[in-house]
Structure formats: structure tokens, C-alpha cells
Amino acid sequence: MDAATATNFLNMFETLQCPYVQDIELSYLSELLLTPSRHRTRILCWLFSSIDPDLENMIDSCNVNQGGFMSSHEIDSKIQLLTGIASDLCLCIQDDFDLIRGKATARKQIAFWGNLLSVAANISDHNKEQLYEHDNEICTFSKAVLRTCDISTVLSLSLQLLSCSVQREISVTLKTIKTSKSISVIATEDVVNTISKLESQLSRQKDNITKLLKEYSYKDFAADETSKTDKLNRSLRVVLNDLCQLQTTFLQTHENFFQPYCDKTPVTFNKFGQTLHKVNCQLKSYLQLIDTLKNIKETNEEISNPHSAFQREAWVVIGSTSRG
């Protein structure tokens, strides 16, 4: 933004008596208007509120946070509201959220701020009074016209609520019905016969339901069965409470102990680290092989020792089989 445009914008802000740009430098004003910030959103809210009291009420109803700090959720809701207001005032297109946030190009934002400040400057307190007086004059004129004319004649026009295509389809259908010669008329006897058939079918279905109820009768719960169900419900509540406590404990343990390790970045080795990692894996494999050989040696010694428990059990088995 050049110095002339910044000076023009600052003069227009001073004319509007905006409290957010008092005693501000031109360089900071350019950065403020063309960069996304909470201060920029407050200025937009103030300008739209100064245009019309209804807009002010809409923006005030969107202020969830009453303090000076606005949360990100509140800023997003305000951006949506201000975008809708700006599109209604023909200042931007619909869903142009980047322009209201301050992420659009500098040329586009300068044109937007110029149009917005011009609209806000033209609608001053004097202009608002003139607009209200003009509206009152229109209302007075409308009342006078309604008094002098016949209201029933004015309101006697037929109101077409359907679209043109639907009205065309209806007119074609009516013409077809009028011109067609073979129009099927339902006789009263056919209606009576259909109703009698439905009654007979309904009676058969009722009989089937009665048979099923007699065959599978459901008795009421006795007092002991009711007590059993109460006991079962209490037991289920206790089990569910225990499960909820276990789930809470697991979540706390996971967040406190496991989540920090899950968030860690994976280990990356350089050339020397890869060599050490490979040597460590081979060393582990060698130690496992030594343990396996040691177990084989101990098993062999136990088998070859004649006084071992394994030998005694083997002789006992052999003796029992020979006797048999």
C-alpha cells in the first residue's frame, strides 16, 4: 500500500472516529489492514456495525467471549458472519473467506477496504436520519394509497405458487383428461368387494395371532424371578463400573507413559551406527545359539548319566512293559 492510499484510509478512519486506529502510524496501518490478525477482525466488526444498527446487533450476538481476547473458534464464526454481510453489501463474492481474513492479494484487499470505508463514510448519522425519514414518507404514502383504493380489488390477483413447468404439466394433464373418452370410473360394488376381502384377510391374521399366543404363552415373572433380575442388574452395574474404571486407568497410563514414546521420532543411524546395530544383532543371535548348545549339552549329560532321574524313569518304564 502506497503512502497516499494509507493517508486517505487514515483520514477516513479519523472521520468515522474509529477507536482502533487512533494515533497509529501509516506503516503500521498498512500492515494492520493487509495482514490477518485479531485487531483487523475487530476493525471490520466496528465498520460493519457503524453501517446499520441491525448489523451491529448481529455482530454483538456473535460475541461469545466478553473479554478482550477472542478465541480461534469465535474468530472463525465472525469471519463467516462478516463474509455473509460483505456479500450482501456487494463488497465481495460469496464464500470469499480469504478476503475477510486478510489472506487475499494486496490489490484486492485495498479495493475492498476502499469500498467499505466509502460505504461507512456515506452512511453518517445525518444520512441515517434522512433514510429513516424517507422510509417514514414511503410508509405514509402507502397508507394513504390503501385508504383511497379498494383493498379487495388490490388483493384479488391470483397468486401462482407453483413454477411455470409444474403449471404447464397441470394444464396439459387437465386438457388430456377433458379430451379423453375412456375414463375409468370405479364402481361402488368393486369397492365393497375389496373391503370385504380385506376384512376376511384381517380376520385370518387375527386367528393366526391368537393361535401363536396360545402355543407360546408368556407368563408373568414371579417374585423370585423379579428378585433374580434385580440381582443380575446390580451385578451388571458393578461390572460396568469396574470396566469404566479400568478404561480410565488404561487411558491415563497410556497418556502418561506410552504416548510420549509413541510421539517420538524414529531413530536414524549414520554409517557407524548402522554397523553397531548390525554387530549387536549378530551378538544376540550368537548368544541365543550358545544358550541352545548349552541346553543340548545338559540334556545329553543327563541322559548318559546312569544315576540320573531320567535313567531311573526309563528303567521303570522298560520294566513295566517287560512284565506286561
Give the model confidence (pLDDT) of 310-323 as tens digits: 666 766 666 666 55
Among 128, 147, 165, give the residue marking a domain's end. Answer: 128
Residue 149 covered by a domain: no
Q: What is the pTM assigned to this prediction?
A: 0.39
The answer to whether residue 229 sits within a structural domain is no
Residues in the chain: 324
Q: Where are the alpha helices (DSSP H) in the chain?
A: 3-16, 26-33, 38-51, 53-61, 72-88, 97-101, 106-122, 125-148, 151-154, 164-179, 188-215, 223-253, 259-262, 271-304, 309-323
Q: Are 116 and 91 within 8 A, CB to CB?
A: yes
Give the up-direction half-sphere exposure of residue 164: CA atoms within 13 A in the CB hemisphere: 0
Instruction: Output DSSP code: residue 244.
Output: H
In order along its 324 residues, the chain shows pLDDT tens digits of 788 888 888 888 888 888 888 777 777 888 888 888 888 888 888 888 888 778 778 887 776 444 444 556 666 778 888 888 888 888 888 788 888 888 888 888 888 888 888 888 877 555 555 555 656 666 776 777 666 666 665 555 555 556 666 777 778 877 776 665 555 566 778 888 888 899 999 999 999 888 888 877 655 545 556 777 888 888 898 898 889 888 888 888 888 877 777 777 776 767 777 788 788 889 999 999 999 999 888 888 777 776 666 666 766 666 666 555
Let me know if residue 287 belongs to a domain.
yes
C-alpha cell at 172: 396439459
CB atoms within 10 A of CB 62: 14
Task: Check: CB of residue 97 under 8 Å from CB of residue 83.
Answer: yes
CA distance 170 to 178: 12
DSSP label at residue 19 = G
- What total of structural domains would you count in the chain? 2
Measured CA to CA in angstroms, residue 291 lies from 7, 278, 283, 297 at distances of 86, 20, 12, 10
Instruction: With respect to residue 27, please indicate whether it lies within any of the assigned structural domains.
Output: yes
Q: What is the pLDDT of residue 68?
A: 46
3-state secondary structure of 158: coil
The reply to whether 113 falls in a domain is yes
Last residue of a domain, one of 67, 93, 128: 128
Q: Is residue 105 part of a domain?
A: yes
State the sign of the Cα–Cα–Cα–Cα dihedral 158, 163, 169, 173.
Answer: negative
43 in Cβ contact with 148 (< 8 Å): no
Cell of 64: 461469545
Instruction: List C-alpha distances in Å: 244 to 66, 230, 236.
Output: 38, 21, 12
Evaluate whether residue 65 is within a structural domain: yes
The overall average pLDDT reported for the chain is 77
Residue where one domain finishes, among candidates 128, 153, 172: 128
Domain range holding 280? 275-311
* Alpha-carbon torsion (130, 132, 134, 140), positive or negative: negative
Q: What is the C-alpha to C-alpha distance for residues 201 and 60, in angstroms, rounded to an integer? A: 65
Quick check: is 53 in a domain?
yes
